């Protein structure tokens, strides 16, 4: 049995969160940004003086960190950190932290609990492959690294101070790390539909996914 869920995976800055949030509004579904959760753990490690490259130390933090959501904000142990998780420092450190087995186990478990059995949209790297393999619709959203760097530059949710060239380098580095890690690497699920949004507007991507979703509903 498939579940009423849309899984949106893809590389960093491919527009997943923007699309997922707008789509959730249109389709009256709940939305969860799973990347924000890995960023929140990374922020907590940095603020606790823990080296994000040190897997054992990061693992030890897991019992002391509680991530919650409230009204569009993300909270770490009760403290709102919606903007703080988007700094360059967190962005640089998040790939190694998100590659640790124990971190992923805890996050995936929490993501499934949050999703429950309501109609949901989740975006991330492993939603279609690991978190919700039974999602009715799976999208793999990409765009060229150059387009993604341009979009990140204009993104007002980002707390980055990087210029275009630095963003491009950072995006390529994260693509490489996320796609080659041992556990749950970034890759499309076998039944995912690939959308390259390099030459598409936000509205065009929304229309496309909404159309695919409506088609899926007819097959039920």
| Residues that bind ligand DC in the complex, under the rule CB under 6 A | 12, 34-35, 38-39, 94-95, 98, 124-126, 174, 178
Closer residue to ligand DC in complex, CB, 138/174: 174
Q: Residue 39 or 106: which CB sits closer to ligand DC? A: 39
Q: For ligand DC, which is the closer residue by CB, 47 or 215?
A: 47
Q: C-beta of 193: minimal distance to ligand DC in Å? A: 18
CB of 175 to ligand DC, least distance (A): 9
**Nearest Cα to 62, choosing from 126, 109, 95, 112?**
109
Residue nearest to ligand DC (CB): 124
d(CA 33, CA 115): 11
Q: Whole-angstrom Cα distance, residue 20 to residue 33?
A: 8
Q: How far is the CB of 29 from ligand DC (least distance, A)?
A: 18
Greatest Cα-to-Cα distance within the chain, rounded to the nearest angstrom:
52
Least distance (Å) between residue 154 CB and ligand DC: 16
Helices 88-98 and 101-115 pack at an angle, to 10 degrees, of 100
- Cα–Cα nearest to 158, from 100, 72, 75, 88: 88
100 vs 213, which CB is nearer to ligand DC? 100
Beta-strand (E) ranges in 23-98? 30-33, 67-70, 73-76, 79-80
155: Cα within 13 Å, side-chain hemisphere:
26
34-47 and 101-115 helices, crossing angle to 10°: 130
Confirm if 179 and 186 have CB atoms less than 8 A apart: yes
Pick 171 or 206: Cβ nearer ligand DC: 171
Minimal distance in Å, beta carbon 215 to ligand DC? Answer: 25
Shortest distance, position 99 Cβ to ligand DC, whole Å? 7
Give 87 or 211: the residue with its C-beta nearer to ligand DC. Answer: 87
């Amino acid at each position: 049995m498939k579940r009423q869920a849309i899984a949106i995976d893809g590389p960093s800055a491919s527009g997943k969160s923007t699309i997922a949030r707008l789509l959730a509004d249109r389709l009256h579904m709940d939305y969860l940004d799973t990347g924000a959760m890995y960023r929140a753990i990374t922020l907590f490690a940095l603020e606790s003086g823990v080296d994000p490259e040190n897997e054992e130390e990061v693992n030890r933090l897991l019992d002391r960190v509680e991530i919650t959501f409230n009204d569009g904000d993300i909270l770490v142990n009760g403290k709102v950190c919606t903007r703080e998780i988007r700094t360059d420092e967190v962005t640089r450190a998040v790939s190694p932290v998100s590659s640790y087995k124990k971190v992923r186990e805890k996050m995936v478990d929490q993501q499934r609990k949050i999703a429950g059995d309501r109609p949901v949209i989740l975006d991330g790297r492993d939603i279609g492959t690991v978190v919700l393999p039974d999602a009715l619709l799976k999208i793999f959203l990409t765009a060229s690294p150059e387009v993604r760097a341009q979009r990140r530059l204009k993104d007002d949710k980002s707390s980055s101070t990087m210029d275009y060239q630095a963003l491009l380098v950072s995006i390529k580095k994260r693509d490489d790390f996320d796609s080659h890690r041992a556990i749950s690497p970034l890759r499309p699920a076998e039944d995912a539909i690939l959308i390259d949004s390099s030459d598409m507007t936000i509205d065009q991507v929304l229309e496309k996914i909404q159309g695919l979703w409506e088609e899926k509903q007819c097959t039920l």
